[in-house]
């Protein structure tokens, strides 16, 4: 057994979150490092979904809106997510996709920044230039709709780019390509100092690290639930609206579900009170209740413990890669500093697409981003240190095979001792 394999065993033995792994459906023959794209299936979800389909829908039918709690599911599940992102109850509503919620949040932020109709004093939106493409597309559409100009800047450029024209700033908490963690507290403070509104995309941070929405005064936030929250493919996203902004939140997508009297069927729209203003149409009950079941894996788990393990896992992965992979074969584009790292490691390498395909064939599942980035996501609830050591070892073997060069003697000897 190699020294790193032995170290992995010791770290797993001391891991306070190790027991959470049994809450998921996993194949021990596979190292799953793609939870930053799609989280693993929580073991209790299939039974819950069967109950929703067979009993709640099949037997109770329409009665389930009241008797099974379908109607208030968006707020109830929002309150389950709230502690994971540092929010008090009553500020998060679940529903729609991340893209739809980005649109609601950005347009609403511009409207709050220009409270007098027809007087767009603040007519510029700043958007993270490194953002996931959809956020950029939505921001551009929101800018056209509100008569604003759109200015892409990197998060580091935001403080200098802010001005009296800035209405809203849309930023990603963690860069989806590199895993870089941006400074939410200081950037939010800078946006507020300029009199603008901060909108944060939490897709790659919620469930992986503390966010502190209330603590840092974030105005609006959105995020998906199918990554580190393990809600399932296409599970509904969520929208956070800070308590003191809720009476001014003017959604560009008013629907009957966000009406103060949804069953009154009145011709004129009157927004509901609180976070309910973020609702639009009929909730997607099947996926929403699957998400609610999935969130039970967080019972008794602190986000601080998750963050500590996340950093330990990514540190150990980088250590193993450094030991097993010949120098110069890969380059980490994920920051070394803990304060700047999310819960993934991105490695740049030649032939990354072929390398990832070979990794998956050998039981190590990550993903690939063009043109040359391998992404490995570390979900602390079900990824262990032995998984990490194995992934790095297989990566070294794959690189040697795919790129046609064998490992140096020292690395071969160490791998042979596993």
Rounded to 5 degrees, φ, ψ at 8 are -60, -45
In CATH, the number for domain 3-17+301-416 is: 3.90.1150.10
Largest CA-CA distance found in the chain, in angstroms, rounded: 77
Assigned CATH topology for domain 47-298:
3.40.640
Q: What is the pLDDT along the chain (418 residues), one digit of tens a residue?
A: 689 999 999 999 999 999 999 999 999 999 999 999 999 999 999 999 999 999 999 999 999 999 999 999 999 999 999 999 999 999 999 999 999 999 999 999 999 999 887 676 999 999 999 999 999 999 999 999 999 999 999 999 999 999 999 999 999 999 999 999 999 999 999 999 999 999 999 999 999 999 999 999 999 999 999 999 999 999 999 999 999 999 999 999 999 999 999 999 999 999 999 999 999 999 999 999 999 999 999 999 999 999 999 999 999 999 999 999 999 999 999 999 999 999 999 999 999 999 999 999 999 999 999 999 999 999 999 999 999 999 999 999 999 998 765 444 444 444 444 4
**Annotated catalytic residue 378:** no
Per the annotation, binding residues are 98-99, 132-135, 201, 204, 226, 256, 282
- Select from 93, 89, 119 the least CA-distant residue to 104: 93
pTM over 0.75? The answer is yes
Beta pairing partners, 376: 345
Catalytic entry in 24, 103, 132, 378: 132
Q: Residue 10, SS3? A: helix
Q: Which of 226, 238, 249, 316 is catalytic?
A: 226
120 to 94, 110, 169, 237, 340: CA distances (angstroms)? 30, 9, 16, 30, 36
- Domain locations along the chain: 3-17+301-416, 47-298
Active site residue 357: no
Residue matched to tokens 């909108």: 199
DSSP 396-416: HHHHHHHTT-PPPHHHHHHHH
Among residues 21, 104, 165, 227, the one annotated as catalytic is 227
Please enumerate in sequence order all residues whose Cβ is within 8 A of that of 209, keeping only pairs 6 or more positions apart, or say none: 181, 303, 306, 307, 310, 342, 343
Active site residue 385: no
Cα distance between residue 392 and residue 319, in whole Å: 9
Q: 375, 382, 387, 390: which one is catalytic?
A: 375
Is there a catalytic annotation at residue 137? no
Is 309 an annotated catalytic residue? no
Give the residue among 145, 149, 183 at the shortest CA–CA distance from 166. 149
């Amino acid at each position: 057994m190699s020294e790193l394999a032995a170290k992995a065993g010791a770290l797993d033995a001391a891991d306070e979150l190790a027991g959470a792994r049994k809450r998921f459906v996993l194949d021990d023959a596979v190292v799953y490092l793609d939870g930053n794209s799609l989280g693993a299936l929580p073991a209790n979800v299939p039974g819950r979904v069967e109950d929703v389909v067979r009993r709640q829908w099949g037997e109770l039918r329409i009665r389930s809106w009241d008797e099974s709690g379908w109607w208030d599911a968006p707020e109830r599940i929002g309150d389950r997510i709230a502690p994971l992102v540092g929010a008090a109850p009553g500020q998060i509503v679940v529903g729609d996709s991340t893209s739809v919620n980005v649109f609601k949040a950005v347009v609403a932020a511009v409207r709050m920044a220009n409270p007098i109709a027809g007087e767009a004093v603040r007519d510029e939106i700043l958007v993270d230039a490194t953002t996931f493409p959809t956020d950029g597309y939505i921001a551009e559409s929101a800018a056209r709709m509100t008569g604003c100009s759109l200015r892409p800047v990197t998060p580091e450029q935001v403080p200098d780019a802010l001005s009296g024209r800035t209405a809203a700033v849309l930023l990603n908490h963690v860069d989806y390509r590199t895993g870089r963690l941006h400074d939410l507290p200081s950037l939010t403070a800078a946006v507020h100092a300029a009199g603008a509104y901060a909108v944060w995309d939490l897709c790659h941070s919620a469930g992986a690290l503390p966010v502190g929405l209330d603590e840092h005064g974030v105005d609006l936030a959105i995020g998906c639930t199918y990554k580190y929250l393990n809600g399932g493919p296409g599970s509904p996203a969520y929208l956070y609206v800070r308590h003191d902004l809720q009476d001014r939140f003017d959604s560009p997508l008013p629907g009957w579900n966000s009406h103060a009297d949804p069953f009154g069927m009145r011709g004129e729209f009157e927004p509901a009170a609180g976070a309910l203003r973020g609702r639009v149409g009929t909730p997607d009950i099947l996926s929403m209740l699957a998400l609610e079941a999935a969130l039970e894996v967080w019972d008794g788990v602190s986000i601080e413990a998750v963050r500590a393990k996340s950093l330990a896992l990514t540190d150990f992965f980088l250590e193993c890669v450094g030991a097993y992979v010949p120098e110069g074969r890969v380059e980490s584009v994920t920051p070394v500093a803990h304060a700047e790292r999310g819960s993934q490691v991105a490695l740049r390498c030649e032939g990354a697409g072929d390398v990832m395909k070979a990794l998956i064939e050998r039981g190590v599942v990550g993903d690939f981003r063009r043109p040359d980035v391998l992404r490995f996501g570390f979900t602390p609830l079900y990824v262990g240190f032995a998984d990490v050591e194995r992934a790095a070892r297989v990566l070294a073997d794959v690189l040697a095979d795919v790129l046609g060069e064998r490992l140096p003697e020292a690395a071969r000897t160490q791998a042979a001792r596993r």
